[in-house]
């Protein structure tokens, strides 16, 4: 077990280079098995989630080589086997092997996926999509057997614009016979990145980034070279930390358009931002104003930034509100922020924050990935040394967080306990 030890009160200055997107990479790695030849994916972050997916590739006998920022995957010798519960439970994105194996071999057997405990996280929309394509889904306890004689294109309307279901259905449909239309698809930049990858392999996917995605099935997918987009959530998290204690902190290698909802909220409360084409320089401003946010699907305010943004709201003057509409259990960081001195109450899916309050170091728990980012943000401005346990959650999604923050002046150490 690891913990983070952070002593607050230091200004962050210098440059943080943003890594490739976690949520793209965790779909691209399983998607690569759809190819008949070798594919190279570059700008893949070295985080535990991508490591686990490579373990699953090894288990399926898929050759994969990790260079510093890229992965070369050759699925030529893949053995389509049942993916055990131990692997499936390690992360949410294990479920992309359902779509990819089904798409390539007409059969996938695996268990209900894991991931952060931020809600019940059903996968009914994924299964509905597979069934519409002609697959039969059998569920025994937690085990899912998904099988088809032949997948056939279909019209699929998603009841919720789920990121995971949209990607999984794309993976299953790219080699299906005929045309598939996904209506009410999710529009996140990661979906566009996956569709581009599939098209680079020879798939015919149009409309990614809009709510209607059209896929015409092809027989073969070939090798390609593909680049992962920058991680907008990692970038957003560091922008928030810069708003809390930055002094011309440069958040580099980003696509600012992917962060528009956050940028407009930061500007609204009074954060100083200097915009570049692929960077933003952020400095802590004075007398931040309170505001309200409501999480929504892209391009709305991302639920994944709600938790670190709540830490920033503790430093705004007056009453702010955070309404969480995507995940029912995403306020687990709040009791810890309150222990550190924040004034926050939660009722139903709304947190009310009264600020601004001085924060003091405490021993806190990263209950999930982005709760961890919220607590790191709080620790950076708290008086004293905060200890954060359950750091494994944070390491699932933030590449080299200790090194990145240390390099810009934070006092942060990771140690084994």
Crossing angle of helices 22-31 and 48-59, rounded to 10°: 10
Using CB under 6 A as the binding rule, whether residue 326 contacts ligand UD1 is answered as: yes
Active-site option among 116, 224, 245, 316: 116
Q: Which stretch binds ligand UD1 (CB under 6 A): 121-129, 284-292, 341-349, 357-365?
A: 121-129
Sheet holding 292-294, edge to edge: 292-294, 318-323, 350-355, 343-347
Q: How many CB atoms neighbour CB 249 within 10 A?
A: 25
**Beta carbon nearer to ligand UD1, 121 or 404:** 121
Give Rg (Cα) of the chain: 21
Answer for which of 44, 165, 332, 361 binds ligand UD1 (CB under 6 A) is: 165
Give the closest residue to 31 by CA, choosing from 82, 135, 102: 102
Listed residue (6, 66, 49, 17) closest to 373, CA to CA: 6
Contact segment (CB under 6 A) with ligand UD1 among 37-45, 115-123, 213-221, 271-279 equals 115-123
Question: Does residue 164 interact with ligand UD1 by CB under 6 A?
Answer: yes
Binding mask 365-384 for ligand UD1 (x = CB under 6 A): --------------------
Closest to ligand UD1 by CB, 279 vs 327, is 327
The distance in angstroms from the start CA to the end CA of the chain is: 6
**Nearest to ligand UD1 of 169, 365 (CB atom):** 169
Rule CB under 6 A: say whether 299 interacts with ligand UD1. no
Calpha distance 354→356 (Å, rounded): 7
Residue 50 interacting with ligand UD1 (CB under 6 A): no
CB closer to ligand UD1 out of 59 and 112: 112
CB closer to ligand UD1 out of 23 and 74: 23
CB 110 within 8 A of CB 144: yes
Judged by CB under 6 A, the residue of 234, 304, 324, 368 near ligand UD1 is 304
Q: Which is nearer to ligand UD1, 39 or 93 (CB)?
A: 93
Q: Does 123 bind ligand UD1 (CB under 6 A)?
A: yes
Q: Which residue is nearest to ligand UD1 (CB)?
A: 164
Neighbouring-strand partners of residue 355: 318
* DSSP-assigned beta bridge partners for residue 15: 250
- Total residues found in the chain within this entry: 417
Q: What is the 3-state secondary structure (H, E, C) of 151-164?
A: CECCEEECCCCCHH
- Can you tell me whether residue 75 is helix, strand or coil? coil
On whether the CB atoms of residues 127 and 172 are closer than 8 A, the answer is: no
Q: Which is nearer to ligand UD1, 90 or 250 (CB)?
A: 90
Beta bridge partners of 383: 360
* Cβ(330)–Cβ(119) below 8 Å: yes
**Contacts with ligand UD1: how many residues (CB under 6 A)?**
21
Residue 315 phi/psi, 5-degree rounding, is -105, 10
**Is 245 assigned a catalytic role?**
no
What's the closest the beta carbon of residue 8 comes to ligand UD1, in angstroms? Answer: 27
List the interface residues with ligand UD1, window 68-97 (CB under 6 A): 92-93
Number of helices and strands in the chain (H, E): 14, 23
Region from 120-128, 131-139, 284-292, 332-340 binding ligand UD1, contact rule CB under 6 A: 120-128
Q: How far is the CB of 21 from ligand UD1 (least distance, A)?
A: 9
> Segment near ligand UD1 (CB under 6 A), from 2-10, 131-139, 163-171, 244-252?
163-171
| 215 touches ligand UD1 by CB under 6 A | no
Contact 119, 164 (CB under 8 A): no
Choosing from 106, 237, 303, 306, the residue that interacts with ligand UD1 (CB under 6 A) is 303
Binding site for ligand UD1 (CB under 6 A): 23, 26, 92-93, 119, 121-126, 160, 162-165, 186, 303-304, 326-327
Active site residues per annotation: 116
């Amino acid at each position: 077990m690891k913990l983070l030890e952070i002593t607050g009160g230091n200004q962050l200055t210098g440059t943080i280079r943003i890594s490739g997107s976690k949520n793209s990479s965790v779909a691209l790695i399983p998607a690569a098995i759809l190819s008949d030849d070798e594919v190279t994916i570059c700008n893949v972050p070295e985080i535990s989630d991508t490591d686990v997916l490579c373990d699953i590739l090894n288990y399926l006998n898929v050759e994969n080589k990790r260079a510093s920022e890229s992965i070369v995957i050759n699925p030529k010798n893949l053995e389509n086997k049942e993916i055990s519960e131990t692997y499936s439970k390690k992360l949410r994105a294990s479920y992309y092997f359902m779509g990819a194996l089904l798409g390539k071999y007409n059969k996938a057997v695996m268990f209900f996926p894991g991931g952060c405990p931020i809600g019940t996280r059903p996968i009914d929309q994924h299964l509905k999509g597979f069934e519409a394509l002609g697959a039969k889904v059998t569920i025994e306890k937690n085990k899912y057997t998904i099988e088809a004689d032949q997948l056939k294109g279909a019209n699929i309307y998603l009841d919720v614009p789920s990121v995971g279901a949209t990607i999984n259905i794309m993976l299953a449909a790219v080699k299906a016979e005929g045309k598939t239309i996904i209506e009410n698809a999710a529009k996140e930049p990661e979906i566009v990145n996956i569709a581009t990858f599939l098209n680079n392999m020879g798939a015919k996917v149009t409309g990614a980034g809009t709510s209607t995605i059209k896929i015409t099935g092809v027989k073969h997918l070939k090798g390609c070279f593909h680049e992962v987009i920058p991680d907008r959530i990692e970038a957003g998290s560091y922008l928030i930390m810069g708003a809390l204690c930055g002094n011309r902190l440069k958040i580099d290698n980003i696509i600012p358009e992917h962060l528009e909802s956050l940028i407009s909220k930061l500007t609204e409360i009074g954060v100083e931002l200097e915009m570049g084409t692929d960077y933003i320089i952020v400095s802590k401003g004075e007398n931040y104003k309170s505001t309200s946010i409501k999480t929504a699907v892209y391009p709305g305010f991302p639920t994944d930034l709600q938790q670190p943004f709540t830490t920033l709201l503790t430093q705004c003057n007056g009453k702010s509100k955070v309404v969480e509409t995507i995940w029912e259990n995403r306020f687990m960081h709040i009791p810890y922020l309150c222990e550190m001195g924040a004034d926050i109450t939660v009722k139903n899916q709304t947190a009310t924050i009264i600020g601004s309050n001085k924060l003091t170091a405490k021993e806190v728990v990263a209950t999930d990935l982005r709760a961890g980012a919220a607590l790191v943000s709080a620790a950076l401005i708290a008086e004293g040394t905060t200890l954060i346990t359950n750091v494994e959650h944070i390491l699932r999604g933030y590449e080299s967080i200790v090194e990145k923050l240390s390099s810009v002046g934070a006092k942060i150490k990771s140690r084994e306990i």
